[in-house]
Amino acid sequence: MLSAFGRAFRTPDLRRKLLFTIAIMAIFRVGSFIPTPGVDYGNVQQCVAGMADSTSLLGLINVFSGGALLQLSIFALGIMPYITASIITQLLRVVIPRFEALHKEGQSGQAKLTQYTRYLTIGLAILQSTTIITTARSGLLFPGCAVDVIADDSFMTALLMVITMTAGTGLVMWLGELITERGVGNGMSLLIFTSIAASFPTALWSIAGGANGVFNFVVMLLVIVLVIGLVVFVEQSQRRIPVQYAKRMVGRRMYGGSSTYIPIKINMSGVIPVIFAASILAIPGLIAQFGDQTAGWVLWISQNLALQDQPLYIALYVLMIVFFAFFYTSITFNPDEVADNMKKYGGFIPGIRAGRPTAEYLDYVITRITSAGSLYLALVALIPTLVLVMLGVTLQIPFGGTSILIIVGVGLEFVKQVNAQLEQRHYEGFLR
């Protein structure tokens, strides 16, 4: 393994890509600590030090911004607006025929969809930055903090902050695209990886500061190692459906006659269902913060939906993960489209007739695999939280299972891409 890393940095082209990727990730982290104009940085640090980790919707954005949100930095929104815009664009393919047509046009259509995603990202950044600034000025961003984080409440200061945070989101989006074009791996995924990896060790180490801290830290570390092993095993697993292509004559040439397979991952939806479920369940708690704290509905939400260890929260969390796993998989994998493409090019699954029977067979396989994959997602998302509850630790690792899933998934994909480039040059990669 170490020799493979040495070969990667001894290869000039690959070394330049790796160093470029690391440099962009470093710039992203530096920007997370530059305060937005109009923010009292000293008061922000005082408020952050006196509060627990947020488990609200703002807490989710804070995780994906590497802690930059609660610092009110120029990169406070991080990559979250782009993630939301990308998901919305994919979902709109089902509703808007124009988007589906662009998706089928190939590279030119994908370029237009990417452009629409960028426009939507800027719009969401304006909306989210306005919400965050309003929340910070009202004192709800840091509950119980006695100092003001924004000294000047004028309209021009608020406008300047919105413009700065929106421009920061555009810059983050550009940095991610630079990594994709000139570096190694998917830029947006690596920036998410950087954000979560930066805040995860601090939250994990803070467990050792309480009662039975060393024991709790060791137990939690062992659980995380086991979860990582489970994630690696499942993410690398796939169901391979064999496909045979019939021989056909085109002019004087013989085409086809080859065998291949359709790789179907157990977890085809990735981490999207967990993010959707966590975001939706966080909305009632966010709304309750703006209501009368003595009202009955606010107290009910605080007792049942605001804490991740409540039975109702866990039940709804699992049900939503399962639902969104099936929903997102149905959008990203269309059995009818796959069956039509196979039939068009003379492909068939051995023992299954081409056309409608093939689509029904693929739908049957996808349904069974997604059932296992959705339960796996729910298990990974809940294990760290349940272990913390059993240990009596009140500190919440930010979306623990989700963080592990993202870190391991992006890390595996990055290693695969470096490995592929090494094999192109040395015929030998990380894995022998």
Report if residue 54 sits inside a domain: yes
What are the tens digits of pLDDT across the range 146-156?
A: 667 787 778 88
Report if residue 282 sits inside a domain: yes
Query: Which residue, chain included where needed, has tokens 């009632």?
Result: 284
Which residue segment(s) compose the domain that 341 sits in? 211-392
Mark whether 48 and 112 lie in a shared domain: yes
Of 198, 220, 241, the last residue of a domain is 198
What are the tens digits of pLDDT across the range 179-236?
A: 988 888 888 888 888 888 887 777 777 776 666 777 777 888 888 888 888 888 888 8
Mark whether 246 and 350 lie in a shared domain: yes
Report if residue 418 sits inside a domain: no
Mark whether 145 and 264 lie in a shared domain: no
Report if residue 415 sits inside a domain: no
Contact 411, 193 (CB under 8 A): yes
Return the higher-pLDDT residue of 318 and 51. Answer: 318
Residue range 81-87: mean pLDDT, rounded: 85
Of 149, 164, 198, the last residue of a domain is 198
Mark whether 290 and 268 lie in a shared domain: yes
Closest CA to 67 of 206, 198, 201, 207: 198
Q: 243: part of which helix (H) or strand (E)?
A: strand 238-245
Mark whether 153 and 229 lie in a shared domain: no
Mark whether 259 and 187 lie in a shared domain: no
Q: What is the DSSP string of 326-337?
A: HHHHHHH--HHH
Return the higher-pLDDT residue of 309 and 372. Answer: 372
Query: Which residue, chain included where needed, has tokens 């796959």?
Result: 338
- How does residue 55 score in pLDDT terms, banded at 50, 70 and 90? very low
Strand-pair category, 238-245 with 347-348: antiparallel
**Cα atoms in the Cβ-side hemisphere of radius 13 Å centred on 108:** 2
What is the chain's alpha carbon radius of gyration, rounded to the nearest angstrom? 24
Mark whether 108 and 215 lie in a shared domain: no
Which of 13-17, 53-57, 95-99, 269-273 has the lowest average pLDDT? 53-57
Query: How many folded domains does the chain comprise?
Result: 2
Closest CA to 83 of 203, 178, 172: 172
Which of 59-73, 307-321, 325-339 has the lowest average pLDDT? 59-73
- pLDDT at position 99 is 83
Mark whether 30 and 95 lie in a shared domain: yes
Residue range 399-414: mean pLDDT, rounded: 79
Of 172, 198, 224, the last residue of a domain is 198
Mark whether 192 and 228 lie in a shared domain: no
Report if residue 57 sits inside a domain: yes
pTM: 0.79
Report if residue 414 sits inside a domain: no
- Residue count of the chain: 432
| Mean model confidence pLDDT for the chain | 80
- How does residue 178 score in pLDDT terms, banded at 50, 70 and 90? very high
Closest CA to 30 of 2, 84, 71: 71
Residue range 232-248: mean pLDDT, rounded: 83
Mark whether 218 and 367 lie in a shared domain: yes
Paired with 150 in beta bridges are 39
Question: By percentage, how much of the chain surpasses pLDDT 70?
Answer: 82
- pLDDT at position 385 is 75
What are the tens digits of pLDDT across the range 291-301?
A: 676 777 778 87
What are the tens digits of pLDDT across the range 105-119?
A: 777 888 888 899 999
Mark whether 235 and 304 lie in a shared domain: yes
**Domain holding 294: CATH number?**
1.10.3370.10
CA distance 181 to 185: 9
Contact 136, 149 (CB under 8 A): yes
- How does residue 53 score in pLDDT terms, banded at 50, 70 and 90? very low
Mark whether 128 and 230 lie in a shared domain: no
| Strands annotated E in 47-151 | none
Report if residue 428 sits inside a domain: no
Report if residue 328 sits inside a domain: yes
Q: Assess whether pLDDT exceeds 80 at residue 302.
A: no
Q: Assess whether pLDDT exceeds 80 at residue 22.
A: yes
- pLDDT at position 299 is 80
